[in-house]
Structure 1
C-alpha cells in the first residue's frame, strides 16, 4: 500500500532556473500526498489558486507540502489529499536578487542647443539595477499571462523610453551642454524616478540608475578639447608662443624656408625683448631713475640706449629704432 501512496508524490521546485530569469511558474500539475517543496537561496515560492495568492514562502529549504505548507495556505487549510487525486495549485518561483542591466543609446540623441540649430547629437551609456517588490501586481500584470519572465524583457521596455527620458533630463539639468558629466548625478536621479514609474506597474522597482559617460561626435569632442586647452593657457598670445616653441623643439617647424626663418626671428626678438626688460627693470631696493647706464635714469639724462628695448636691435645712437621704429629718448 505504501508503494501506491508514494507513486503519486512529486517535487515542486524551480526546474528551469537561470540567473537572468525573474520568475518561473510551476503549473498544470497536481501536488499530491507526500510531495516536497524545494526553495533555494534567493528564491521565494508563491502558491496561487484561481489567480489568488494563497501563501508566500521565503525561507530556503525542503518542506513537506502536506504537513508544512498546506496548513499555512489561506483558503486551503482544510484540504485533504485523496488516494488517487491531488491538489492543482500553481507555484510561482520569484528570483529575489537585484538585477543589473547595462544600457546604451542605439543612435545619437539630438538635444536642443542654442549653439547648434539642429541639436547636439549625444550618446550615453551606463547601468541600472532593479528588483521585484510587489508580488500581487507582478501576478496580476505579468505572471497571470506568462510562464516565465527574463531580464531582457524588462530591458526592452526600459530602452524603449530611455531616449525620451535622456532628452528630457539632459535638457532640464544639462546647463553646460559641453560638460554634461558634471551634471550626470542629477540627470541620472531624474531618469531613475521616471523609470521607476514605468516598471512599478509590473510589480518591480528601479533601485539604481547611473550614467557612466556622455559621448559627443568626434568633431565636437575636438572642439571641446581645443577650447579646454585654450582655457588652460588663459592667453591666446601665450598659447601661440608655446605652440611655436613646441613646434621648433619637436622639429615640426624645420627646414630653410621662410616659415622657419620667421619663426626663428620672432623667437629671437621675443627673447631679446625679455632680456632688455630685465636689464631696464630696477633692482630690488633701487630707487626708480637711479640706474647706471641703460636704465630709466640714463634715459632721463639724455643718453640713448645701445639696444632697442622693444625688439633688441642695435640702435647706433639713433632717436628711433631702425628695425621697429620704437622711440628711444
Structure 2
C-alpha cells in the first residue's frame, strides 16, 4: 500500500499477485477520499458491499475512486466522503487468464476387463484448462469465505474425482484395452464435460482436458511389445511358443529342471500336432498322379470287357513301347496274352 500527499489517501491494488492465484481480496480497510484504483492487464476489479456486487471494472489502468469509481457503483452513487471518514468496501481482484494445469493419477486406476479378473491397473497423465466465468457464483460460493483462491485448490478438487471419471470413460470408449491411446480424444472429451459440471457451482469452467498418455504395468507393457513384434496379438498359443523359445535361447529356462521338462514337452507336442496336420492335409500333385492313372486304367479295362459288344478299339501303342504286344486286338477287341496274332480273328498284333 502506498500513500500520496493526503495522509488519508491510499492505493487499492492487487498487492499479493501470483501467477497461480485465481482471486485475491482487498478487504477490512477503508477507501479514503483521494484513493486510487490500479487494475493491471489480466485483472478485473469487483467492488463488493455487504456480499453484493456493486460494480465490475475490467479495463486496465489507474482510476480515481472519487470521480471514476463511486459514480458508477450501483447503490453507492450518492455516497459522499467525509473529511476524516472513508467508505468500507471489499474489492475482489480476479485473474482473468486461462489456467493450464498438469495432472496425473497418484495410484493405478483398476479398469474392469475380461482378461484380468481384478481389473487392468492403468496410470494416465495430461493437462486441463480452466478459467473464471461466473463472478456472482464465485463470490457466493468461495470468495465470501476466503481471502484468496489458488490453482492448487482447483486441482485438488479435480483430482479427487478424476479416478472415477477415468474408469467411467475408459470402460465406455476403450474398446481395445491394450491400445487406449487410439481413443484418447473421445475419453478426454467425456471427462471434460463431466468435470465442467463438477466445478460449475464454483463459477469456474473447464475449457479443455487432454490425456497425454496411458501407462500400463511393466509386465503388461512387455507383453504388448512382444506380441506386437511378432504380430500375434490375441493368439495366446503362438505367444507361448515364442516365449518358451526365447526363454530357452536366453538361458532363462535351463535344462534339468521342471520348467525345462515342461518346455520340452510343450514344444514336442506342438511339433507333433504340426506333423499330424501336414499328414492329414490334401495329397500333393505327385501323390495324386498314380492314383489318377490307376483309376483310368481300371475304367478302360472295365469298358473294354463290356465292349466286346461295342467293338470299341483300344488306344494304339505309342512308339516308345517298342516291341511290346497290345493287350487287346485292335480288330475285334479280344484279349491278347502276348501272342503275335489275335487268337480270335487272326489279326497280326506284332
Normalization by structure 2: what TM-score? Answer: 0.66
The answer (yes or no) to whether the contact 1:44–1:96 under 8 Å persists in 2 is: yes
Aligned residue pairs, count: 243
- In the alignment, the residues of structure 2 paired with residue 216 and residue 4 of structure 1 have an alpha-carbon distance, to the nearest angstrom, of 62
Matches within 5 A, 1:124-135: 124-135=124-135
Q: Which has the larger radius of gyration?
A: 2
Q: Could you tell me how far 1:202 is from its partner in structure 2?
A: 0.2
Structure 2 residue matching 1:175: 3-state secondary structure: coil
Structure 1 residue matching 2:230: 3-state secondary structure: helix
Distance 1:4 1:23, change over 3 A: closer
Deviations 1:96-145 (CA, angstroms, capped at 9, x unpaired): 00111100000111100000001000000000010000000000000000
Distance 1:36 1:231, change over 3 A: same
Q: Could you tell me how far 1:234 is from its partner in structure 2?
A: 12
The answer (yes or no) to whether the contact 2:227–2:233 under 8 Å persists in 1 is: no
The runs of at least 4 aligned residues of structure 1 exceeding 4 Å deviation read 232-237
Which residue does 2:227 correspond to in 1? Answer: 227
Check if 1:149 corresponds to 2:143: no
Which residue does 1:284 correspond to in 2? Answer: none
- In the alignment, the residues of structure 1 paired with residue 233 and residue 47 of structure 2 have an alpha-carbon distance, to the nearest angstrom, of 69
Q: Which moved more, 1:224-233 or 1:59-68?
A: 224-233
Check if 1:115 corresponds to 2:129: no
Q: Could you tell me how far 1:232 is from its partner in structure 2?
A: 7.8
Deviations 1:145-173 (CA, angstroms, capped at 9, x unpaired): 00000000000000000000000000111
Normalization by structure 1: what TM-score? Answer: 0.70
The answer (yes or no) to whether the contact 1:109–1:163 under 8 Å persists in 2 is: yes
- In the alignment, the residues of structure 2 paired with residue 119 and residue 28 of structure 1 have an alpha-carbon distance, to the nearest angstrom, of 54
Unaligned segments of structure 1, at least 5 residues: 254-300, 302-329
Distance 1:182 1:40, change over 3 A: same
Structure 2 residue matching 1:6: 3-state secondary structure: coil
- In the alignment, the residues of structure 2 paired with residue 172 and residue 217 of structure 1 have an alpha-carbon distance, to the nearest angstrom, of 21
Structure 2 residue matching 1:226: 3-state secondary structure: helix
Which residue does 1:45 correspond to in 2? Answer: 45
Distance 1:106 1:234, change over 3 A: closer
Q: Could you tell me how far 1:95 is from its partner in structure 2?
A: 0.3
Which residue does 1:320 correspond to in 2? Answer: none
- In the alignment, the residues of structure 1 paired with residue 162 and residue 198 of structure 2 have an alpha-carbon distance, to the nearest angstrom, of 11
Which residue does 2:73 correspond to in 1? Answer: 73
Structure 1 residue matching 2:227: 3-state secondary structure: helix
Q: Could you tell me how far 1:227 is from its partner in structure 2?
A: 1.4
Which residue does 1:287 correspond to in 2? Answer: none
The answer (yes or no) to whether the contact 1:195–1:206 under 8 Å persists in 2 is: yes
Which residue does 1:200 correspond to in 2? Answer: 200
Matches within 5 A, 1:1-329: 6-231=6-231
- In the alignment, the residues of structure 1 paired with residue 216 and residue 138 of structure 2 have an alpha-carbon distance, to the nearest angstrom, of 39
- In the alignment, the residues of structure 2 paired with residue 143 and residue 224 of structure 1 have an alpha-carbon distance, to the nearest angstrom, of 50
